[in-house]
Structure 1
Amino acid sequence: MTSKEATVVISSAGRRLYLIDWFREAFEALGIDGRVVVAENDATSSSASYGDVARHLPRYTDSDYGPELLRLADELDAKIFISLNDYELMHIHVNTGLAESLRRRGVLVPGVSPAWQTGCADKLQMARLLDSVGVPTPSTVAGGDEAGLAELTSRADEFVVKHRFGSGSSGLELVTGSHINQAVTKSLLSAPATGRAPTADDVVVQPKLPGVEHGVDIVASLRDRGSLTALLARRKIRMRSGETDKAVTVDRGPFMRASELIARAADLTGLIDVDMFLDAAGHVSVIDINPRFGGGYPFVHLAGANVPLYYLAQALDLDIDQGWSRYDSDVVSAKYESIRVTGPNPR
């Protein structure tokens, strides 16, 4: 072991136990005396007792969440804080100053600027942000925008209807132009709570894109905002519950220009998971951004990439070569089920 030490805090890890394992492996590869602290509000979640240290953290909506998070970071001398929950990320990056409070303590917090974090949670705003920096994205119209819908249906035959403020593929339905209003009404029945009665503007409509959907991890320096350091790409073969279930790694080349524009415009630090369509002519369109480790990262990790290794090297000012960003193409991987005991019998 070296004299270096590191504590990584992962909040809302949920079912992604593999990420905890990969940080442990990165500690070992670098000769670091490190630990993964898993912070959860549910002590019986799959990941809560899987880390080297388990800590209870109130829900992000709780008034005690902020003070407890900062207390945890100070007590454990955290080097990196990672959340895998979209709503928690909104809370720390936009609704409060928690992300910057952690950074002032020397904790690296991957993410995007507040404006882009807001856009990641609002698919209509995201389309406008992408368009403003020259990144191709499908025309996006709110479900209540009658003029916009009329213009959209004059140019396309098939459409995607989905939740404007949803996560994953929530509320998604593929329809023809004559069924858009019906699909919007149906999507509203399951729209995420916003503290008010849902309206048609809580749903967005886009033309169905030609081509094949890909997942692309855009990785930037954790210290130099907007500085692109790697691109990791896979073609989606099968989806399950809005998450990639099977994929094959592919060449990153077609996605480079859009990724450079996004990294710079979003003041990116660390990794974000981006959904892109690639058509037969090689044209790329961005349809969604998840500002965190997404469900597609495992496919490139198993093919050779190693973002946890890069994160630790950045946190501890260690020099490593670009091997962490290399992966083999044409590697097919698929997810599978597992289960573990997470608490005593409640009876």
Structure 2
Amino acid sequence: MNILLTSTARRIDFVQFFQEALKDAGMDGKVIVADPEGNAPSLQAGDVNYVIPHQTDSRFIDAIFNICRQHKVDCLVPLNDWEVPKLSAHKEELTQLGVSVFAPDPEIIDRVRDKGKYRELLKTFDVMAPRSYIRLEDAERALENEEVSFPLIVKPRNGSASIGIEFVNTVEDMKFAYQHAARTIEDTPLNDVTNKKPEDNVIIQEVIEGEKFSVDMFNDLDGNFLASFIRKQLDMRGGDVDRCITVNTPELVSIAKRTGENLGHAGYVNADVYYDGTDYYVIDINPRFGGGYAFTHQAGADIPAAIIALAAGEEINEDWLEQDSDIELARHDIVVPIDVQKVSEEFK
């Protein structure tokens, strides 16, 4: 079995997880790694490594198809928010090539990428989301009516990696942040993955203070819910969770199950959920295999093994779908030499 991981960046651990899962399954195959940056550390770890065009480049999809054909790829797992919509749009053609794509369908991606409609989406699952306003006038009216109060957060509706996020405490700051967010969107890949004008792709949202959790939901290729993994965030670094503890809070387990079942997505989805002492609020939903999974893997789960089994049409070991609770975990950095001989630029 040949597995293609895309936009792997620094995630050497993910590459190794899949390599170990293939070995444990007793399967012949390769873990093929692709990233737009030739000096990405993960390109030193794959069995085959490619520099490919960025997802904003018209040649991106051609590169993916070329790799899949040349290596007879059985399974594709994207690791970056921005590439998922383009890969999802070509799921049918990839499936015809024999590639199992572990990414949601386009309509599901559209739903979870639009933070401005989370309350509308999630209330049907009996899940809460913060109040959000798409127009400045609506936010000003909500403030006047004391529906919300400062501080508020201004951010892109389809945001990623904390781009364009600002906390505001006055109406003047809110107006400035709104225009700044629109300009930021126009100058980033966020503008490439939406049909909305930049000024229509900004939301103003109430701030939820309290404990923060990462909630992962894993479904099979038909969208059937299989598992959830929950981690309480303890420290952040550069927008990523740096330290956490695994938990099995019943309310969060229930939220994850309801959300995973109702979304019906294929593959892995990650959500940020905040607890204000009374209620849990879904702040963000990312339609891809999130980097925080590395903590869950160290706590006993093995989703790469489950992905390989699903792609091969084999049974899943239930132990792969469970993490030990109350395990505190922290990230650390490693250094790798960059050997350009390990990386092909055939698809650049």
What is the TM-score when the length of structure 2 is the normalising length?
A: 0.86
Is contact 1:232–1:252 with CA below 8 Å preserved after alignment? Answer: no
Q: Secondary structure at the match of 2:185?
A: coil
Deviates most, 231-240 or 189-198: 189-198
Partner of 1:98: 90
Is contact 1:11–1:40 with CA below 8 Å preserved after alignment? Answer: yes
Is contact 2:299–2:324 with CA below 8 Å preserved after alignment? Answer: yes
- Residue 166 in 1 paired to residue 166 in 2? no
Aligned-partner Cα distance in 1 for 2:265–2:99: 16
Partner of 1:122: 114
Aligned-partner Cα distance in 2 for 1:33–1:100: 26
Partner of 1:43: 38
Q: 2:236 aligns with which of 231, 239, 249?
A: 239
Is contact 2:129–2:281 with CA below 8 Å preserved after alignment? Answer: yes
| Cα displacement (A) at 1:221 | 1.1
- Residue 145 in 1 paired to residue 136 in 2? yes
- Residue 272 in 1 paired to residue 269 in 2? yes
Q: Over residues 241-272 of structure 1, what are the superposed CA-to-partner deviations in whole Å (9 max), with x where a residue is unaligned?
A: 22111111111522233323332333311111
| Cα displacement (A) at 1:312 | 1.0
Cα RMSD between the aligned structures?
Answer: 2.5
Aligned-partner Cα distance in 2 for 1:30–1:148: 54
**Within 5 A, what are the aligned runs for 1:181-192?**
181-192=175-186
Aligned-partner Cα distance in 2 for 1:187–1:101: 36
Partner of 1:340: 336
Amino acid at match of 2:67: L
| Cα displacement (A) at 1:212 | 1.1
Count residues in correspondence.
333
Aligned-partner Cα distance in 2 for 1:61–1:291: 18
Partner of 1:312: 308
Amino acid at match of 1:90: P
Deviates most, 205-214 or 188-197: 188-197
Aligned-partner Cα distance in 2 for 1:266–1:113: 10
Q: Over residues 297-316 of structure 1, what are the superposed CA-to-partner deviations in whole Å (9 max), with x where a residue is unaligned?
A: 11111111111111111112
What is the TM-score when the length of structure 1 is the normalising length?
A: 0.87
Is contact 1:113–1:267 with CA below 8 Å preserved after alignment? Answer: no
Aligned-partner Cα distance in 2 for 1:263–1:229: 9
The answer for unaligned runs of 5 or more in structure 2 is: 342-348
Amino acid at match of 2:185: A
Q: Secondary structure at the match of 2:175?
A: helix
Deviates most, 148-157 or 97-106: 148-157
Is contact 1:116–1:126 with CA below 8 Å preserved after alignment? Answer: no
Q: 2:99 aligns with which of 104, 107, 110?
A: 107
Q: Secondary structure at the match of 1:162?
A: strand
Q: Which has the higher contact order (CA 8 A, sep 6+)?
A: 2
Is contact 1:299–1:333 with CA below 8 Å preserved after alignment? Answer: yes
Q: Secondary structure at the match of 1:257?
A: helix
- Residues 177 and 98 of structure 1: is their aligned pair in 2 closer, same or farther, counting only changes over 3 Å? same
Aligned-partner Cα distance in 2 for 1:68–1:165: 25
- Residues 135 and 59 of structure 1: is their aligned pair in 2 closer, same or farther, counting only changes over 3 Å? same
The answer for unaligned runs of 5 or more in structure 1 is: 1-5
Is contact 2:9–2:37 with CA below 8 Å preserved after alignment? Answer: no
Aligned-partner Cα distance in 1 for 2:220–2:247: 23
Q: Secondary structure at the match of 2:296?
A: helix
Aligned-partner Cα distance in 1 for 2:202–2:310: 40
Amino acid at match of 1:219: F
Deviates most, 125-134 or 82-91: 125-134
| Cα displacement (A) at 1:192 | 4.8
Aligned-partner Cα distance in 1 for 2:117–2:254: 21
Partner of 1:3: none
| Cα displacement (A) at 1:87 | 1.6
- Residue 64 in 1 paired to residue 56 in 2? no
